[in-house]
Structure 1
Amino acid sequence: MTKSLLSRHMRIAGLALAAGAGLTAGVAQAQDKGTVHLAYVEWSSEVASTNVVRAVLEQAGFDVDMTSLSAAAMWQAVASGDADAIVAAWLPTTHEEYLERVGDDVEDLGPNLDGTKLGLVVPTYTEVDSIAELNDHADTFNGEIIGIDPGAGLMGLTEEVVDTYDLDLNLRSGSDATMVAALSNAISNEEDIVVTSWTPHWMFARWDLKYLEDPENVYGGAEQIHTVVRQGFAEDMPEAHAILDAFEWTPEQMGEVMLMNQEEGADPYENAKQWVEENQDVVENWLNG
């Protein structure tokens, strides 16, 4: 091969390599849509929903960071811009106070799940049927109500319940996990226990439970879980905003994921990816906005 011909081949190879590198860079740039920061509270329902949303956003080409916070800190993170979105806003009652505080700094995209409920829950074998009857059976419940994390709106409502009904039971704070552990232990021993709880929650699929009647209606009626984003998110990340705006599912669908997460050694993120993969017909509706 002559020097001129060799030089020509080298120039062509160099141009091809450069073109290939440019194409690769272009693809990488097209796929680099930025990072969506999601905040959530460590409730089984919100662990399920937030991981599913993460998996869907990743399918759309976004990177996703998740941060677990208390309910109050979760709302503040969205309001301050430290988080882009939450899919864990219980409205109009449970998180009403948080929304009132930061309403001007966030955008409510509406409900992503309808048909929630809050209240005090006991095993169905318990003779008590109403909150108003608890004082007559205070000793049966060891003089306490087993609650969750102290920053939760549900705990604030339950404090109102204690005052409204003048209950002789102490509200004990903890977490979703400690509440469920106490409930499981009591049921195993066929003992009475009263806990703060909500629907949807996987424990209703595992055990026979009932809500205590709330004649004073302190807990209010059925609620919804809303998606809330920071102000400016729609302008900064319109595609991610559209996906979050379209995200909506049923308590039954959420329950499927929550039950998967209760298996020994379960990974909520891997379970969410599996659910998303197996429910692409639902997911496509979210991706298409």
Structure 2
Amino acid sequence: MQRRHLLTGAAGLVAGASLLRGAPVLAASKDVKLAYVEWSDTIVATNILAQVLKQQGYKPTLTPVSGAAMWQAVATGDADAMVAAWLPVTHADYYKKLKNQVDLIGPNVTGARLGWAVPDYVELTSIADLKAKGDLVDNKVIGIDPGAGLMRASEKAIKDYGLSNITLVEGSDATMTAALKDAINRKQSIVVTSWTPHWMWAAFKLKYLEDPKKSLGGEETVNTVARQGLKDDLPEVYAILTKFKLSLDDEQGLMLKNLDAGVDPAKTAADWVAANPEKVKAWLA
């Protein structure tokens, strides 16, 4: 996925959950329902997990939904699990609302973070620099979807650093990365909203702007969340979920491959699983 939005509004928790509704999960079923958002890292992680489950004889179904609907689907049992819960900050609102209805298994990726990024040649080192040097980037920060958690954090950063001269430009993951690529090709300065893991860090030489006020948060983890009762209904699946881990390099490298025209993320995931037997073996031990 291109990571189209980090956090959609909390009001969307219910909207879209019906996309996953169907027959109730049966204890003896080999079906496993995985909910995911079409973010580039989540596409990678969800497809890798699906390939491993297939090897173990399960029948995974992958359903793309919004961030809010993903959480709601797991909470209601319409999905068995998801591997895209950004905590403790980005998805804090979702978790606070639904923590008594889901099973938070724990991190599958560590070292995640949000921030504002620039090409490494740009003469900016801190968000605070934009107050005096905003003209270097046309007084703009190129953002993603309106309402996304990263956008809300970016609005907070503008307020915290007194950046009345800066405009946060709404868009999407695709428009943001297209603007970044064009600026780099032209050797121009640009500031974009960013996060790790993301393929842009594998494709370009970038740096995060320092954020001493922590307006955009600190280091986060990407977590696996299961529906309540999965541990009893599908213990082997649950055991795999507890051990499922990926590195930033693993995800970002595969995200980059998925950008090629005509590439099937399920195929690149299957190739990765075949090429990394020891990592997969650790999830099955």
Question: Aligning the two structures, in what range does the TM-score lie when normalised by the shorter sequence?
Answer: 0.7 to 0.9
Partner Cα separation in structure 2 for residue 144 and residue 72 of structure 1: 28
Check the 8 A contact 1:71/1:152 in 2, yes or no.
no
Superposition pairs for residues 135-150 of structure 1, below 5 Å? 135-150=131-146
Question: Over residues 228-265 of structure 1, what are the superposed CA-to-partner deviations in whole Å (9 max), with x where a residue is unaligned?
Answer: 11112212222111111110121122223222212232
- Secondary structure at the aligned position of 2:261 is classed as coil
1:56-135 correspondence runs (5 A):
56-135=52-131
Match 1:215 to one of 212, 225, 238: 212
Specify the alignment match of 1:243 in structure 2.
240
Among 25, 31, 42, the alignment partner of 1:46 is 42
Name 2:261's counterpart in structure 1: 264
Instruction: Tell me: CA distance 1:239–1:152, structure 2 relative to 1, closer, same or farther (3 Å).
Output: farther
CA distance in 1 between counterparts of 2:144 and 2:43 reads 15
- Once the two structures are TM-superposed, the CA of residue 209 in structure 1 deviates from its matched residue by 0.7
Q: How far is 1:197 from its partner?
A: 0.7
Worse-matched range after superposition: 253-262 or 52-61: 253-262
TM-score normalised by the chain length of structure 2: 0.85
Alpha-carbon distance between aligned partners in 2 of 1:71 and 1:170, rounded to the nearest angstrom: 25
Alignment partner, residue 280 of structure 2: 283
What secondary structure does 2:78 align onto?
Answer: coil
Instruction: Name the residue aligned to 2:271.
Output: 274
Structure 1 pair 62–268 and aligned structure 2 pair: CA distance change class (3 A) = same
Identify the structure with the greater helix proportion.
1
Superposition RMSD in Å = 1.7
Runs of 4+ off more than 3 Å: none
Q: Please state how far the C-alpha of 1:171 moved relative to its aligned partner.
A: 2.1
Q: What residue in structure 2 maps to residue 9 of structure 1?
A: none
Partner of 1:187: 184
Q: 1:150 and 1:287 mapped to 2: Cα distance? A: 40
- Tell me, yes or no, if the aligned pair for 2:202 and 2:253 is still in contact at 8 Å: no
Alignment of 1:160 with 2:156, yes or no, is yes
The letter for the 2-side match of 1:70 is: S
> For 1:152 and 1:233, how far apart are their aligned partners in 2?
29
One-letter amino acid of the structure 1 residue matched with residue 245 of structure 2: E
Q: 1:202 and 2:199 equivalent? A: yes
SS in structure 1 at match of 2:273? helix
1:187-235 per-residue CA deviation (whole Å, 9 max, x = no partner) reads 1111111111111222112211110010111122211111011112212
1:12 aligned residue: none
Amino acid at match of 1:252: D
| Cα distance in 1, alignment partners of residues 230 and 171 from structure 2 | 34
Measure, in 2, the Cα distance between the counterparts of 1:67 and 1:179.
25
CA contact under 8 A between 1:72 and 1:151: conserved in structure 2?
A: no
Q: Distance in 2 between matches of 1:107 and 1:164?
A: 35
Relative to structure 1, the CA distance from residue 236 to residue 151 in structure 2 (aligned partners, 3 Å threshold; closer, same or farther) is farther
Kept after mapping to 2: 8 A contact 1:71/1:151? no
How far residue 151 of structure 1 moved from its aligned partner, in angstroms, is: 4.4
Percent same amino acid at aligned positions? 49
Q: What's the offset of the Cα at 1:138?
A: 2.8
Letter in 2 for 1:131: I
TM-score in terms of structure 1 length: 0.84
Say which SS state the counterpart of residue 104 (structure 1) adopts.
Answer: coil
- Bigger mean CA offset, 189-198 vs 132-141: 132-141
- Give the conservation status (yes or no) of the 8 Å contact 2:201–2:252: no
1:71–1:153 contact (8 Å) kept in structure 2: no
Structure 2 regions of 5+ residues with no counterpart? 1-27
Amino acid in the other structure paired with 1:102: L
Contact 1:110 1:227 in 2 (8 A): yes
User: Which secondary structure does the structure 1 equivalent of 2:99 belong to?
Assistant: helix
Task: String of CA shifts for 1:161-202, please: whole Å, max 9, x gaps.
Answer: 122123232222322222111110111111111111111222
Higher-Rg member (1/2) = 1
